[in-house]
Structure 1
Amino acid sequence: MTIAGIGVVSAYGWGRETLWHGLLSGKSAARLHPGYGPARDDYAWVAVVPEGGDLTVSPSLYGRAMHESVREAIQDARERGWRPGGTVGVLHAIVLGDVRNWRDFYTVDQGHRRSRDYLRLLPSTPVAVLTHEYGFHGPSMNVSAACSSANVALITARLWLDQGLADDVICVTTDLSATPDMLEHFVRVGAAIDDAEPLDACRPFQQDSRGFVMGEASTAFVLSREVERPYAAVFGGAMTNDAYHVVSVEPSHEQVLDCFERGLRVAGVRPEQVRYFNAHGSGTRQCDAAESEALKQIFDDRPSLYSIKPLTGHCMGAAAGVEVAATALGYENGIVPAVPLVAPAHPRLLDGPTECEGGLTVKSSMGMGGNNSVVVLGPVA
């Protein structure tokens, strides 16, 4: 399975090139935004998607971002020689859905709207609008596995292709949940920070990291076996669950390590073949510890390590989508878009944008509830 097209809406702006240039700038997409505290003038550091998109698609920014990322991915794939097969499936990876619209439904409209406007709240509606525009008649569904949802959607897409359920798959992952009411609870549980510039506080695999800055994105991929100029191949992956705690990572890391081993086995890859480790890298202590152990135990500390969350923010359900896009665009442009170091770091952590030497990339993603996922990416031979 190959990535034939990419579309991105991120806190850097609308379009995959905007994301790419933002990553290479080494500057975070997060900004100080008002209204995130008890007082109206309280500010917080968050990486939110700016206004934009096609209002004829949806009055909701969430719906517009989802749709526009897919439109860009499809146009990109067609320009690269992709022609849709007879059956095109659609997978939409989500976690909380259109939280701003749901909030307004209750607090502004007191639960009463025209039925047409109410239907826009349902998770099936953005997918239905998309399939109607393009006439896609293949399987369609939402995928949700906490912050590992995008990886899980890619794994599901490969299963669809392998089983002949679809000839091609549109895989899109959307999360626009960096709202004051959502951020409050991630700060309270000690995972997110909102009171400091991202590179001063979110330092995955570096000294004195305090957690992540919350981010938003919608990222879409056209996945196919037939395209003239693919970005990258998706060789396979795996999922496990810690079955331990609703928030915390199981301390022995047994299931995390098993997920990496299974992912490599499904992909037909040996650990020594992996050149890059695109980590979940949330900047929390327990995540850094788990992934550092995987790097040591599974890969003998050989791959180069990086995480882009200090730049894009933690985009929750869309996190792995943005990060897979960064890897694929990195192969295309010959650059690994790593974040500049600002503190003593893990010896394998890359320092800023680095020449890409090709080779395989392991992309890990971890979500609350013990959700672990790994996918293996690489250049197309």
Structure 2
Amino acid sequence: MTPRPGGPVAVTGLGLVSAAGTDVDSNWKTVLAGASTAAEDPRLADLPYRVTCRVPKTDLPGQLGRDRAWRLDRFVQLALIAARQAVTDAGLGGGAWDSARVAVVLGSTLGGTATWETQQARFHGHGPTRVSPLVLPMSLPNMASGEVAIDLGTHGPSLSTSTACASGTTAIGLARDLLLQDRCDIAIAGATEACLSPFTITAFGRMKALADPDQPAVRASRPFDANRSGFVMGEAAGVLVLERPTDARSRGAAARALVTGFGASTDAYHSTAPDPSGRGAALAVHAALADAGLGPGDVQHINAHGTSTRLNDAAEAGLIARTYSGSPSVTSTKGVTGHTLSAAGAIEAAYTVLGVQHGLQPPVANLTRVDDCAGIDLIRDRPRRQAVQAAVSHSFGFGGHNGVLVIQRA
């Protein structure tokens, strides 16, 4: 049965913390420049895979309050900073809301990996009495949404999504559903991940998912390039404030863009590899378009999942070529930010919102020789001035999780 359009929600606030910058403006400037943030990571000097995309040095404890920050894992710290930015951007600072009608929906799959690794070392090296009693509240993935709710004083639904690299997209889609079902009036939605720890990096390296360590760091993340060899891991948090358009207008808030559709599906194919046929991903695309009341020819721009792995990029390029008509422009911002795992869908939704709002679409960084598999309109070298009425953002995760958002001009 064809889904019925559910209606738009307005994006009234954005918050971004990534390797591309510690606020929305610096992120957007770096992404538009196609400037790779990948670099040799001194904390991983003893590992074969030692290139990451870390958030620039910033005083997170100073921003959060040192008495509080010391008991929060980094993934929660990033989420708090991004959420505060988004709420301020939406003109909701100071809690100008009915707190019982404010929802928080944040994705995170790995949670506090740095805390787990540090505390495991203490356990094995010094015994159980040296393990912190705060291990669990510091590291459970749901603590991002829980701590944001505490920080902002919200009392509506507080939920956590975990669909691997689609978690941020899933969170935004779920938050939109809560608004359309009148479960809340404001939704703070997105995702966070900060897992650039030695064991986690090693685990992805052993899977052969990471870029060839012999490549120059600055060119290691290269979506859709013929010489791509894997992704570079990054850390980030992205948060969107969502409201029903009538509610936003009634308080005089401007919408940056509208989220008009969401689709989700499962490949049911392999635990880590995408279905090369793209059948599962296509289901999510068609569901999102139907939800928005659009067809495959109505999309002018795609923010691709584009991980820089051989299997994902080939499968996604084929999906785009087969599914959309009208040759939409395509970018992947992971060439700049690296792959931020759960946070990817959230920060890429934010970049898509900015592209629609400003009529300027970012290029794919490090794209020097397009792979033969990618017969699609990839944006190269410089931003493209393009007025976009409707864009989509793809997210695909381990386990076969697929999520797609439709974002339209306000």
Task: Return the TM-score normalized by structure 1.
Answer: 0.92
Equivalent residue runs for 1:266-277 within 5 Å: 266-277=291-302
Q: Check if 1:260 corresponds to 2:285.
A: yes
2:243 aligned partner: 224
CA drift at 1:364: 0.6
Separation in 2, partners of 1:206, 1:373: 24
Q: Is the alpha carbon distance of 1:286 and 1:117 closer, same or farther for their aligned partners in structure 2, counting shifts above 3 Å?
A: closer
Amino acid at match of 2:395: S
**Percent of residue pairs identical:** 30
The answer to whether the 8 Å contact 1:8/1:219 transfers is yes
Q: Check if 1:16 corresponds to 2:24.
A: yes
CA drift at 1:349: 0.3
1:57 aligned partner: 68
The answer to whether the 8 Å contact 1:301/1:348 transfers is no
1:207 aligned partner: 226
Q: Is the alpha carbon distance of 1:207 and 1:182 closer, same or farther for their aligned partners in structure 2, counting shifts above 3 Å?
A: same
Amino acid at match of 1:136: T
2:54 aligned partner: 48
Amino acid at match of 2:225: Q
The answer to whether the 8 Å contact 1:14/1:52 transfers is no
Q: Secondary structure at the match of 1:57?
A: helix
1:154 aligned partner: 172
Which of the numbers 96, 107, 111 marks the counterpart of 1:93? Answer: 107
Separation in 2, partners of 1:199, 1:363: 25
Q: Check if 1:363 corresponds to 2:381.
A: no
Q: Is the alpha carbon distance of 1:290 and 1:334 closer, same or farther for their aligned partners in structure 2, counting shifts above 3 Å?
A: same
1:350 aligned partner: 379
CA drift at 1:186: 1.8
Amino acid at match of 2:20: Y
Instruction: Map Cα deviations across residues 304-331 of structure 1 (whole Å, 9 max, x no partner).
Output: 1110101000000001111111111223
2:6 aligned partner: none
The answer to whether the 8 Å contact 1:238/1:262 transfers is yes
Task: Return the TM-score normalized by structure 2.
Answer: 0.86
Amino acid at match of 1:304: S
2:192 aligned partner: 174
CA drift at 1:170: 0.6
The answer to whether the 8 Å contact 1:37/1:180 transfers is no
Equivalent residue runs for 1:182-197 within 5 Å: 182-193=200-211, 195=213, 196-197=215-216
2:119 aligned partner: 105
CA drift at 1:6: 0.6
2:332 aligned partner: 307
Separation in 2, partners of 1:179, 1:191: 16
The answer to which of 103-112 and 250-259 deviates more is: 103-112
Separation in 2, partners of 1:101, 1:114: 10
Amino acid at match of 1:151: T
CA drift at 1:222: 0.7
Instruction: Map Cα deviations across residues 127-155 of structure 1 (whole Å, 9 max, x no partner).
Output: 33332333211011111000000110011
CA drift at 1:334: 2.9
The answer to which of 172-181 and 136-145 deviates more is: 172-181
Q: Is the alpha carbon distance of 1:8 and 1:373 closer, same or farther for their aligned partners in structure 2, counting shifts above 3 Å?
A: same
Amino acid at match of 1:77: A
The answer to whether the 8 Å contact 1:308/1:337 transfers is yes
The answer to whether the 8 Å contact 2:16/2:236 transfers is yes
CA drift at 1:190: 2.4
2:260 aligned partner: 235
2:79 aligned partner: 66
Q: Check if 1:136 corresponds to 2:154.
A: yes
The answer to whether the 8 Å contact 1:6/1:325 transfers is yes
